[in-house]
Amino acid sequence: MFSFAMSKEQKMVKDEFAKFVKEMVIDAAHDMDEDGKIPDDIIQKVWELGASVSMIPEEYGGFGMKDSPVETCLILEELAYGDMSFAIAATLPSLFTHPVAEMGTEEQKKKYLPLYCGEAYSPCTLALHEPHYGFDPVDLKTTATRKNGSFVLNGSKCFVPLAGQSNHLLVAASYEASTICLSSSVKIRV
């Protein structure tokens, strides 16, 4: 028989994040919205719960848990119940670390993943969206061209949450008719 019931682990994760949201986020949501700022201590607390580093392998400093889209959905749903902007900010490092953990070279994993598995929250992000009607992440207009052993990016991105505060970001771009993500130190040009 097929069951949609949560496993014990999933229920535990859901309950832990629901408790956190009830105790820390719901009462602060109005002030966060009015001030346009999320308090660092609240972000830090969700970081300590492991929302972003739980799926990173232990050898790079993460918790080494199995990648579970269901658990990820449960976490995001609970955080967003308290405040959507908070949910985005709190889990944003996953947009950088997950692709590196899953598709990065061994050298990239060793270089970048430990930077985002420490005790303190450290923002990093992904530049995916492009500022044109009909944006399609499979048909990116931003391009990457190889030049002297590096990549040169040409294009525009928009809605890159916390780009100004992030130490690193991934930039999604087209390269020889396929989509790639390039890691970069943040240097924002307006």
* Radius of gyration of the CA atoms of the chain, in A: 18
Let me know whether 71 and 99 are in one domain. yes
**Whole-angstrom Cα distance, residue 63 to residue 18?**
21
Q: Are 116 and 96 in contact (CB under 8 A)?
A: yes
Judged by DSSP in three states, 26 sits in helix
Let me know whether 13 and 53 are in one domain. yes
| pLDDT score of 84 | 92
Banded pLDDT at 44 (limits 50, 70, 90):
very high
Interval 156-184 mean pLDDT: 81
Cα–Cα–Cα angle for 119, 27, 47, nearest 5°? 15
Domain ends where: 83, 113, 143?
A: 113
Banded pLDDT at 14 (limits 50, 70, 90):
very high
Residue range of the domain that includes 103: 8-113
Residue 95 in any domain: the answer is yes
Interval 154-166 mean pLDDT: 92
Let me know whether 141 and 109 are in one domain. no
**Whole-angstrom Cα distance, residue 82 to residue 22?**
7
End-to-end Cα, the chain, rounded Å: 56
How many domains, in total, are found in the chain?
Answer: 2
The one-character DSSP state at 66 is P
For 19, the enclosing helix (H) or strand (E) is helix 8-20
The one-character DSSP state at 25 is I
Averaged pLDDT of the chain: 87
**Whole-angstrom Cα distance, residue 88 to residue 14?**
17
Question: 156: domain CATH number?
Answer: 2.40.110.10
pLDDT above 90: percentage of residues in the chain: 48
Let me know whether 103 and 29 are in one domain. yes
Let me know whether 107 and 15 are in one domain. yes
- Tokens 């240097």 locate to 187
Q: At residue 181, does pLDDT exceed 70?
A: no
